[in-house]
Amino acid sequence: MQPIQNQGDQPIIVLREGTERTQGRDAQRGNIAAAKAVASAVKTTIGPSGMDKMLVDSIGDVVITNDGVTILKGMEIEHPAAKMMVEVASSLDEEVGDGTTTAVVLAGELLKQAEDLIEQDIHPTVIAQGYRQAVERAQEILEENAVRVNADDTGVLKKIAATAMTGKAAEGAKEKLSDLAVKAVGMIAGEDGSIDHRDIRVEKKVGGSIEDSEIVDGVVIEKERVHPGMPKKIEAARILLLDAPVEFKKTGVDAEIRISRPDQLQRFIDEEEEMVRSIVDHIVQSGANVLFCQKGIDDLAQDYLARSGILAARRVKKSDMEKLSRATGGAIVRAVDAISPGELGEAGLVKERKVSGEDMIFVTQCGNPKAVSIILRGGTEHVVAEMDRAVGDAIRVVSTVVEDGTLLPGGGAAEMEVARGLRAYAPGVGGRAQMAIEAFAESMEVVPRAIAENAGFDPLDVLVELRSVHETGGKNAGVNVLGANTADMIQSGVVEPLRVKYQAISSAAEAANMILRIDDIISTAPPAGEPPSPEGMGGMPPGMPPGMM
């Protein structure tokens, strides 16, 4: 039990037995150590020479990736402070689709620098305030150094996509995949530059090579015809999207039917057939020649539909139904009685064809030209899965640049320029906040340092050269992993969206400040009969191997 002393020195017990409590410096050290361990886990994946991680779950499934958010989610972290780092990566991935590893590594470095300041008796609140000031100035520096780009400049957009995929397993085919990503975004972009990612569907297929990947102007459904007698191809398709079963409707209550004569049995079967035929008649009379059903279609209905020349697929996923609705302009009908010609969608062509030995239905020439599908092909499931993550990142960053029209040099160039600018800004602030801002500037250099380390360079030599170049006006200089230590990243085609860098720095600082302000951790006791966690709230994060702290 946790006693608390009152003025009369009489202990008052306020926490139940078994509750763990960590306070003050011990709580801060534990949280910082956990956050640094998470950052250390993904630091080696940064840059074009970053390494991959193999994640093996409890049932033996394997994922091989260097995608930051995928790694962090797969680690199943339990420590609360470490979980906050994972949340930073997840929210950033949802917001801009990239920069997750940068944010986590930067947050870890900010906490490392803050730990040194705390040891110098600088209060965490002062550090947090200095970090907030540094973020505001950093964002101004990024905007001052941003490069404007035309949304129609496909060459630059492909470079953006290629940079997002660099270092991933799909890098060997980044030219092909960058082209697919840029085309897909261009096909769904509105006149005002707005982009709805729901209009792009990515299908993964094991078999063939990466070069066999293709883009489809329409929607691809991973289903086949429910009856071999149905047509494989329908032109001028009138599409019914039905969220109701096409089958005999069973009674909603328990009932018993007693049949004593053969003619009664036949009459019952006839009634069942008539009910199914009535449903199919509703579909035929609406003028539909293609049916996508979210529920089941029984054998009798399949036969009737085939005789009527209707191509049908059943058990279509809800997300696919929604995509078909947007693409074809058809409404998702919830009841058979509501079927009418006005609810149908339209497409120029609906066709079933084989991809990697599996039948798929292609809905093309849609009424809404913003419906796009990408089919990714690869030799193994691991390759295709990593391609999916890489293309997803590429689509998001290209979309961001199309919407914002701004980009920054990659390769650590933007971070080095922010570090230089913050060092110049800090003396004007003065006081202890100046030390926090200078620590923030030092932390920014963790990105180019990690890129250099992962490429096998001496990070100290690279940082010294980068600082010298940036001080003399080379604001686009970053780490060149292919030759000399440094190079102009804009000329090298290594570019990133302004919004990604902006959000990564902001999210990292928010996470660091939140962790810094925690000085008391109260871990409630586990339910009776359940052993307490051996790690404790301030110790080693579960799942982290020794030495990562």
As annotated, the active-site residues are 67, 100-101, 393
Quote the tokens at residue 432: 């202890």
Asked if residues 298 and 276 have their Cβ atoms less than 8 Å apart, the reply is: yes
Other C-beta atoms within 10 Å of 69: how many?
A: 26
Residues 119-143 as b/e (b if ≥16 CB within 10 A, e otherwise) read eeebebebbbbbbbbbbebbbebbe
Name residue 36's amino acid: K
**CA angle at 440 for the pair 393 and 501, rounded to the nearest 5°:** 20
Sorted by sequence, the CB contacts under 8 Å of residue 498 that are 6+ apart come out as 142, 143, 146, 404, 406, 407, 408
Dihedral of alpha carbons 221, 226, 228, 230, sign: negative
Cα separation values, 440 from 137, 155, 423, 433, 445, Å:
11, 35, 9, 11, 9
What does the alpha-carbon distance between residue 54 and residue 56 come to, in Å, rounded to a whole number? 6
Name residue 300's amino acid: L
What does the alpha-carbon distance between residue 11 and residue 331 come to, in Å, rounded to a whole number? 68
Q: Looking at the chain, how many residues does it have?
A: 549
Name residue 137's amino acid: R
Give SS3 for 18. coil
Quote the tokens at residue 247: 């089958």
Asked if residues 416 and 465 have their Cβ atoms less than 8 Å apart, the reply is: no
Checking DSSP bridges between strand 372-378 and strand 214-216, what pairing results, if any?
A: antiparallel
Asked if residues 496 and 160 have their Cβ atoms less than 8 Å apart, the reply is: yes
What does the alpha-carbon distance between residue 426 and residue 128 come to, in Å, rounded to a whole number? 15
CA 448: distance to chain centroid? Answer: 24
